[in-house]
């Protein structure tokens, strides 16, 4: 089985920021769209602008939620 090394995997923060910016550029409410994606898993919540949808799909939703909680709670 082919596995991508951790160095080649995008970081959750980078992916979230890229998606946020792409959504904002397209005139969407980025927070609402990201919440919709995280709750439902439906990639249609994320624009394909600037490859944001493909970036988001490279990481599991639980990884993204884990990053958000760590940052919010300021824990490692």
Instruction: Report the pLDDT value the prediction gives residue 4, as an integer from 0 to 100.
Output: 46
Instruction: Report the pLDDT value the prediction gives residue 8, as an integer from 0 to 100.
Output: 56
The yes-or-no verdict on residue 6 having pLDDT over 80 is no
Q: pLDDT (tens digit, 9 = 90+) per residue, 13-69?
A: 999 999 999 999 999 999 999 999 999 999 999 999 999 999 999 999 999 999 899
Question: How far is Cα 19 from Cα 25, in angstroms, rounded to an integer?
Answer: 10
39 vs 4, more confident: 39
Could you tell me the pTM of the whole model? 0.82
């Amino acid at each position: 089985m082919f596995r991508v090394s951790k160095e080649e995997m995008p970081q959750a923060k980078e992916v979230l920021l890229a998606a946020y910016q792409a959504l904002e550029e397209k005139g969407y409410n980025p927070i609402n769209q990201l919440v919709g994606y995280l709750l439902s898993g439906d990639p249609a919540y994320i624009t394909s602008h600037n490859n944001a949808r493909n970036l988001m799909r490279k990481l599991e939703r639980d990884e993204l939620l884990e990053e958000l909680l760590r940052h919010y709670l300021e824990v490692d």
